Structure formats: C-alpha cells, structure tokens
Amino acid sequence: MAPLAVLKQVTYTYPGAARTALQTVDLTIDAADVVLVIGGSGSGKTTLLRCLNGIVPRFHGGVFGGSVTVEGLDTRSEPSRRLARSVGLVFQDPESQSVMTGVERELAFGLENLGVPSADITRLVEEALISTGLSHLRHAPLSELSGGELQRVALAGVIAMQPRILALDEPTSQLDPVSSEDLLAAIRRLSEDTGAAIVLAEHRIERCLHLATRVVVLDQGELIRDDDPDTFARWAAIARPDWLTPIGRLFSRRPSTPKGHLPTPDGRLPFTVKDAHALLARDDSCRLIPSWHDDPPRRSSETVLSAEKLTIGYDPELPLAVGLDLTVDRGEVVALMGENGVGKSTLVKHFNGLLRPLRGRILLDGIDVATLSVSDAAHLCGYLGQNPGDYFVKESVAAEIDYSLATLDLRGERAAQLSERVITDLDLADLLDRDPRGLSGGERTRAALAIVACAEPPLLVLDEPTRGVDPSHKTRLAKLLRAWAAAGRTTFVVTHDVEFAARAASRVILLGPDGILADGSPRHVLHRALFFTTQIDRLLRDVTPGALLDDEVTWEVPS
C-alpha cells in the first residue's frame, strides 16, 4: 500500500529567520500510523505539521526546499481545498482556528466548504460532538468556552471532515486529565477503525507515548530519531531521560543489569501504570523506598490576595462559583486545578480587575481591586493569560521587556537589573533579537512570561504557563517558581499539568462546580486522587505512600 505522506529532503526557513526551521527532513507516514513528534521548544515540530497541509510554505512564505506529497499530491501545487480532504490540522492555539460564533456552526463550517450535502453535515457534526464530549455545549457561544473546550471544538471540527491524516499540535495542552485521556483514546480508536494516520506533536509524553506506533525526534530542525516506542525509550533512557514518562525514568534507574541495557527483565521500559504494576509483581529483586522530605510549611502573616464571598460568572442567573472565600499568602506557589469549564480562568481574571465579580470583592494587598486603576493593579498583580501572542507589541523580545518595564515607570539601573535577571531566569538570551511572533509556542510562552514577570510584582498569575513548553524548560520553570517563593514572591498558577503542579506548587486547590473541593499541600490533595494525580502516585500509593514524583523514591537491592 502506498504511504499517505512522504517528505523528501525538506528544508525550510521562515521569512527573515537566521536559521532553518527544518533541515533535510525525510519522513514517510503510512495508514494507521500514530506518530509522536517530540523535541525541544523551537525544534521544528509545528513547522513539520504545517508542511503536511501546505501551510508551510504557502501561507508563511520563506524559503522551501525538497518536496511533500500527501496521497500522491504535491502540497505546493495542489489547491488547499483538495488538501483539506486529506489532512486536518489542529493548531497549537485553538483561538486562532475559530471562524464562527457557535459550536455547531464551527463544526459545520469546514464540511460546508468541502461541499458536503446538508444531511451528511448534520450527521457528521453530531458524531464529532459525541466523540469529543461536546454534546452539552452544542449551542454554546465560542466566546464563553474555556481554552480546553475550544481545543476540543477545534479537534471535533477536523474529525468531522474525516481526513486521512490528523495533524495535532499539542492537542491536550489545555485539557484536564480526564478529558485528555478520553480524547486521546478517541483519536487512537479513530485511527484503528478508519486507517487514518495521526501525527501528534506533544510535550506531555506520559499522556500519549503508550498510544504511539512511532516516535520522531527533532533537534534544531533535524530529524535525529524515527523509532518504535521501545527503541526510542532505550535511547532516551541514556540520552534524554526527561523525554521519558515518569514511570519510564523510574525504571530506567533500576539497578539490575549491566550499564547500557534497560534494567528490566525483558529489556523494555514500562510506559503505563498497568505495565509497571505487572513488572513489579513478577520481579521483586529490587524494592522501592521513599526518599522525599517535605519542606517545612512556610507560614506568612502577610496576605497578598483575598476573595470574600465571591460570586463569578458571565450570566447572573448561571454563576460559575458562588460565595467563594480564598486567601493567598506571600511566598506561596498555588496551583489551581479542575475540569475544563469549571471557571478557573474566569476566577483569576478577577484578581487584577480584568473581570468584575457578580457579588463579593477581591483585595490585593488589602486594597479592593474595584477601586484600583489598571496601572495600579498591574503593579500589584502581573497576569499571563492562555494566549501569549496577546502580549506582543514590539519587534523583538528585548524591546518587549524594555517596553514593559518602562510602562511600569521602571528605568535606568533598576530596569537593567530586572531585565538581566528575567532574561537569565527564563533562558531568553538567544531569543532577544527575535520577533516574538515568530517564536515557537514554548518560546512565546517564556517571552510573554518575561513581560509580565520582569517588574517582580507581589502576585504573579499564570494561566497554563507550561503550554507548549518542553520538559527541560518546564522543570526549570518549576525550580524558578520555588526560588521566587523563597524570595517572598507569590505565584498563582492555573494548570492541567499534574506533574508540573506536583513539582512546582506549595499548595494545590481543586475547583469544582460547587466551589473549592480540596485545598492543601500537593501531597495532601493529589495523593490517592483518581485522576488529578501523578503517574508515580498511581503506581506507588500503596508501596511508598505520598510519593508523587520519580525522584522521590529510590531503588534498593535487598541484602
């Protein structure tokens, strides 16, 4: 059978870029392949996906070499309308993919452009809604959906068009753990049932490695690995442990075989909790012991933010939360979690006055936010929303940081010190001369974070700050937030990334439809949870109770 897509010697440079985004890439994609594409931020993952439907180079311009064919069609010469039947692309930023105002109309839009008969459109839209868990939102305005809900709408719209190749760019980055598992299972089922190929760029390896049939690794635009998952794991265990699942990293350190071989009886690393349980059950030559120590609780007498009897929402008749009370102290790193659409992003937009509560009030440093000007609120509370592109107004990252400091009346030596510090903290030295709009998703997130964090506000609110961020920078960010907390700065993070929350946060709040469901240390809230917990906790909750991360347990060989 002929392959669905073939990339031959593909080299591409974006307009004005100093280096190539892709360099002599050769890749073949067959029917029913599930190809996981991984690599650091800026390695070329998004560009590779955009080549499949001709957006690169047709929309972006630049210099393109080599060829890309999909079902025998050259993507550079074939009309976009024809390619849309073969390749469906879900962007990293679902907000930029929406065209219509309502969910059903959005799903029907692509089918209408393909000339699908009305009766078939109705059926396909219904099936797409069901497969992505959106039936209850069919009549909802897109403007009122959460980021995760928009992500599912974008995917549903592509699924409805029944392309032969689904190209998905960070499709779970804004989804809660339950929605993520359901969505990835539906995608894998679609591939198995229809023969569609899935090309998936994703940083949260633990969510999807077990679903892949192949793993492609990009590094600085070069394709350096194209392996089955087990071969990839053997390489990553030695070369890039941060690209393994937490369970994979744990078992790669198991002391039982000569160096250079995987330390498991059959030479394979487990990817899932189920596989790891089976491995522990049949081989007890090593045991796991806890090696973690909780930091003593940091009790501050200084409250940075408090919410009093807060009722929030967009419709007074249908509020998202009623009578919410919340206090955040100086030096905390708070992770706010909960299912998609429960009101997490809506809540934090009240902290600096972007939204006004239906009832109750928010106090920043003891001052009612409703009485503060936009400028005064910005000095007290920095806010990074889900779309980092909203923050860029200059032509370089360096200019953005300078402009942000100047806007807050910070100049001279003090501004220079703050700028140098945030550039170092967020690893931006190599990006300073780049236009922020041309950066990768993870790089844009780091640049936007620098803009809102450079002035070191007392409270920093981050909405999905790990979106598009690779594992090494994610670990670095977790350490940075902890360091800022030790220096007395407070960070409030909205996240669906449980692994990041367990590593970064000093406090986790779980928000539900009826308000706060749990509030405490990560170990208190996440341990023994059904879904809002880590891989390691699922595996070891009865072996080393309380361990959440792979570096919180140690292998021991019984004497």
Question: Which CATH number covers residue 321?
Answer: 3.40.50.300
Same domain, 147 and 201: no
Does residue 314 surpass a pLDDT of 90? Answer: no
Q: What is the pLDDT of residues 135-148, one digit of tens each?
A: 999 999 999 898 88
Residue 245 within a domain? no
Cis peptide, bond prior to residue 57, ω within 30 of zero = yes
Residue 177 within a domain? yes
Same domain, 74 and 139: no
Q: What is the pLDDT of residues 447-492, one digit of tens each?
A: 999 999 998 999 999 999 999 899 999 999 999 999 999 999 999 9
Residue 122 within a domain? yes
Per-residue pLDDT at 295:
62
Given 227, 259, 283, which residue is the final one in a domain? 227
Confidence of residue 557 (pLDDT cuts 50, 70, 90): confident
Residue 3 within a domain? yes
Q: What is the pLDDT of residues 281-293, one digit of tens each?
A: 888 788 899 998 7
145: domain range?
96-160
Same domain, 58 and 176: yes
Per-residue pLDDT at 101:
93
Same domain, 45 and 185: yes
Q: Is 184 helix (H, G, I), strand (E, B) or coil?
A: helix
Mean pLDDT value across the chain: 93
Residue 115 within a domain? yes
Does residue 262 surpass a pLDDT of 70? Answer: no
Residue 549 within a domain? no
Query: Pairing mode, if any, of strands 359-364 and 303-312?
Result: antiparallel
DSSP 413-461: HHHHHHHHHHHHHTT-GGGTTS-GGGS-HHHHHHHHHHHHHTT--SEEE
Does residue 265 surpass a pLDDT of 70? Answer: no
Same domain, 423 and 518: yes
DSSP 8-state secondary structure symbol assigned to residue 37: E
Q: Is 90 helix (H, G, I), strand (E, B) or coil?
A: strand
Per-residue pLDDT at 81:
85
Q: What is the pLDDT of residues 389-401, one digit of tens each?
A: 999 999 999 999 9
d(CA 182, CA 179): 5
d(CA 540, CA 223): 36
Contacts of 443 (CB under 8 A, 6+ apart): 41, 42, 431, 434
Structural domains counted in the chain: 3
Q: What is the pLDDT of residues 208-259, one digit of tens each?
A: 999 999 999 999 999 999 999 999 999 999 999 999 999 999 999 988 644 4
Same domain, 377 and 457: yes
Given 105, 132, 160, which residue is the final one in a domain? 160
Residue type, 460: L
Please answer whether residues 418 and 456 qualify as being in contact, where contact means their C-beta atoms are separated by less than 8 angstroms: yes
DSSP 8-state secondary structure symbol assigned to residue 143: G
Per-residue pLDDT at 95:
80
Residue 4 within a domain? yes
Same domain, 462 and 337: yes
Q: What is the pLDDT of residues 481-539, one digit of tens each?
A: 999 999 999 999 999 999 999 999 999 999 999 899 999 999 999 999 999 999 999 99
Strands (E), 161-221: 165-169, 197-201, 214-219
Contacts of 472 (CB under 8 A, 6+ apart): 40, 242
Does residue 76 surpass a pLDDT of 50? Answer: yes
Task: List 167's β-bridge partners, or say none.
Answer: 89, 199
How far CA 318 is from CA of 246, 315, 322, 344, in Å, comes to 40, 5, 10, 16
DSSP 8-state secondary structure symbol assigned to residue 465: T
Per-residue pLDDT at 256:
63
